[in-house]
Amino acid sequence: MHLLPEASWLQFNRRVLLQTERPDFPLLERMRFLAIWNRNLDEFFAARIAKPFWEKRGSQDHRALLEEAHAQARLACQRYQALLGEAHPHLQVLEPKDLDEEDWLYFRVYLAEVVAPRTDLIPWEAASDLSHGALYFASEDYLVRLPQDLPRLLPVPGREGAYVRLGALMRARSDLFLPEPSPLYELRVLRLLESERARADWDELAQSLEGRQEGVATLLVAEEGFPEAWLEGLRRTLELLPEEVFLLPPPLNLTLVERLVAEGPKAWLFPPLKPERPRGFLKKPLAHLERKDLLLYHPFADYAAVERFAQEALSPEVTEVWATLYRIGETNPLAEALIQAARAGKRVHVLLEGRARFDELLNLHWYLHFLRAGVEVLPLPERKVHAKALLLLTRQGKGYAHLGTGNYNPQNGRLYTDFSLFTGRLEVVREVHAFFQAMRASLPPGGLVRGQPGQAPGLETPLKPSPALSLLRTGEGIRNLLLEEIAKEAHPQGRVILKFNHLTDPMVLKALVQAAEAGARVDLLVRSTLTLLHPAFRAKSLVGRFLEHARVAAFRGGGAWKVYLTSADAMPRNFQSRFELLFPVLDKEAKKKVLRVLKRQIRDDRNSFLLTPKGEKVLWGGHHDAHRW
């Protein structure tokens, strides 16, 4: 059974929404999933729907996507009301009619002094220019834009746990925003935002962002009861199909529940996770790696170990540092450690991927920080760089590397499941350095594709290629390795375990079908997008407390497991349009740890959805919880 990638991804977002129904999750955690679902759906209409929109708009496939998205939106509205009912009376979202005179003493002033001066009054003639994602109100003569930087949910002074929607207040006092009082109706427009940026370098990226315009409209969301004539006029102005208009009860953006999650009773949240701390490594990271590799599984192992490793850039013995950085967030201890090392006179080279979708402005911010601290920011290559690597080189001619499946983001590192591999192995260090050197020279790192050696300063002899061992691979070399290893397992004793966020590559899927039909056991742990469902696959998606983010490939190989970790999802774009890294787990204990994680997830019956050609089956309430450690 073949699925459009977009249809498979929407099914994943439905699984996210279903987390709001889990009986074993605290109330505020279920509310959090409502906000995640809403952000995901906005992103879908801003980016992921691009190919069906441009190539199949109005087709049966496109309409099926819209029908599923609309069905999810209606379910989300029901879940919002159900969750509020469960939270009552400790948390309440009041309507303006529920406010008394004392409440209005405050909100009248708030609307007049804070909201009204920052509200845009827009003539209907400008409806084609409505901004992506903003909340608007329609009256007979005008459109009113709610300020983006104001909170959507306001606490009611003196009433603990009581809130009121800003949009509802504005509707109740429309006289403050219109020349004369008039009924107001809510609406939002979602647009297809430009996803490809300038490919040359940072100055062109800045110019591209400066001139970026919001794209064509892909969806109009309006409240139920919106006057039909106005709605039809909006639809035609925005050049939307009738199916691209959703009618829903307010609120139209359910991310407002994030305030309830942040300020609600702590007893309604998961208890804080107490991650394992590798104490010996945290004390002396480089000395530890002289003895053995270290593999960590976040967030069950403390992400602080990654930041501690980065702090070794300030060690007197370290002279040079190389790093790839992707979606690192607003504050980042690892990035600050690299800046400090540069200011201390170390040679620090950073490949900061500036074109990560919707993070471009933040990346420009970091670019200037690095540049002014003396960090060499490598030119942006033609392909996006999605690899996760940090390399420290010492004056003694040694090197130490961190290779990961996740981003160097301090928040995500504590919320996403990812693997971190730390190693001082000479052969791995050389190839990591060769990767960086190729990036610096703006050349394809072809020497890594087939395990050819690279030489780092101070490393006395080049590594000789070993036919028995595949080391780092990038680009299409990752696909080639997967195809080679899957083909070797195409027999009744074969075993393949793949764990990805997305598995859509036709060549990899074809190889998996051939292996499964030859009798191999094929286990697929695919969080989001799986475009081929085969009766011989054992496929599942895990959605639960933590976002499944690790990418792993394991092959039994006649009894001796081969295990690889990678930054790449198994998608054509990751092989053809990005620089990724796939690397083997060589340490025996580390390999066993990865396999334990995979087997726990295969057995999981608390956070799982079985994915079959006949549909999905929910596995909740069992005894095997892969999100407990």
DSSP for 132-176 reads: BT-EEEE-SSEEEEPPTTS-SEEEPTT-TTEEEEHHHHHHHTGGG
316-363 per-position pLDDT tens digit: 999 999 999 988 989 999 999 999 999 999 999 999 987 777 777 888
DSSP strand E in 395-430: where? 399-404, 416-423
Can you tell me the distance from the alpha carbon of 138 to that of 573, in angstroms, rounded to the nearest whole number? 41
Q: With bands split at pLDDT 50, 70 and 90, how would you rate the model's confidence at 427? A: very high
| Residue 464 in this model has a pLDDT that exceeds 80 | no
Give the model confidence (pLDDT) of 95-137 as tens digits.
999 999 999 999 999 999 999 999 989 999 999 999 999 999 9
What pLDDT, on a 0 to 100 scale, did the predictor assign at position 451? 35
Q: Is 196's pLDDT higher than 60?
A: no
Half-sphere CA count of 592, side-chain side, radius 13 A: 3
Beta strands in 212-342 (DSSP E): 217-223, 245-248, 294-298, 318-325
Eight-state DSSP code of residue 272 = P
Average pLDDT over residues 425-451: 75
CA 168 to chain CA mean position, Å:
32
* Whether the predicted pLDDT of 452 surpasses 50: no
Burial of 333 (0-12, 13-18, 19+ CB in 10 A): middle
- Among 270-274, 377-381, 517-521, name the one with the lowest average pLDDT: 377-381
Please give the torsion angle defined by the CA atoms of residues 3, 386, 574 and 449, in that order, rounded to the nearest 10 degrees.
-150
Nearest Cα residue to 491 out of 464, 517, 458, 452: 517
Does the structure show a pLDDT above 50 at 509? yes
Query: Does the pLDDT at position 470 exceed 90?
Result: no
- Position 462 scores a pLDDT of 35
Structure-model confidence comparison of residues 326 and 13, the more confident one: 13
How do strand 294-298 and strand 217-223 relate by DSSP bridges?
A: unpaired
For the record, the structure tokens of 210 come out as: 């400066």
pLDDT surpassing 50 at residue 33: yes
- Residue 259 pLDDT > 80, yes or no? yes
Asked if residue 312 lies in contact with residue 334, where contact means CB atoms within 8 angstroms, the answer is no
DSSP run (H or E) holding 377: strand 376-377
Q: How far is CA 196 from the centre of its chain?
A: 18
**pLDDT category of residue 454 using cuts at 50, 70 and 90:** very low
- List the one residue out of 194, 326, 248, 264 whose CA is nearest residue 38: 248
Give the H or E element holding residue 376: strand 376-377
pLDDT higher than threshold 50 for residue 447: no
Give the pLDDT of residue 1.
Answer: 85
In whole numbers, what is the pLDDT of the chain averaged over residues?
92
Q: CB-based burial of residue 239 (10 Å sphere; 0-12 exposed, 13-18 middle, 19+ buried)? A: exposed
Res 439: pLDDT:
84
Share of the chain above pLDDT 90, in %: 84
Q: What is the DSSP letter of 355?
A: T
Q: What percent of the chain has pLDDT over 70?
A: 92
- Strand duo 495-503 + 376-377: pairing: unpaired
Angle value at C-alpha 495, between 490 and 496, nearest 5 degrees: 90
**In this predicted model, which residue has the larger pLDDT, 41 or 328?**
41
Choice among 70-74, 211-215, 508-512, 571-575 with the minimum mean pLDDT: 211-215
Per-residue confidence band for 557, with pLDDT thresholds at 50, 70 and 90: confident
Residue 461: pLDDT over 90: no
Q: DSSP 3-state assignment of 298?
A: strand
How high is the pLDDT of residue 558? 79
Of 248-252, 419-423, 471-475, the least confident: 471-475
Pick the residue with more confidence: 433 or 460?
Answer: 433
Nearest-angstrom CA–CA distance, 36 and 164: 21
Q: What is the Cα 502 distance to its own chain's centre?
A: 12
The pTM of the full predicted model, rounded to 2 decimals, is 0.93
Return the pLDDT at 442: 66
- Give the pLDDT of residue 455: 42
| Three-class SS state of 330 | coil
CB contact at 8 A, 151 and 163? no
Q: Which of 89-93, 197-201, 261-265 has the lowest average pLDDT?
A: 197-201
193 — pLDDT class (breaks 50, 70, 90): confident
Residues 6+ apart with CB under 8 A from 474: 387, 435, 445, 448, 449, 579, 580, 581, 582
- The 10 Å Cβ neighbour count of residue 194 is 16
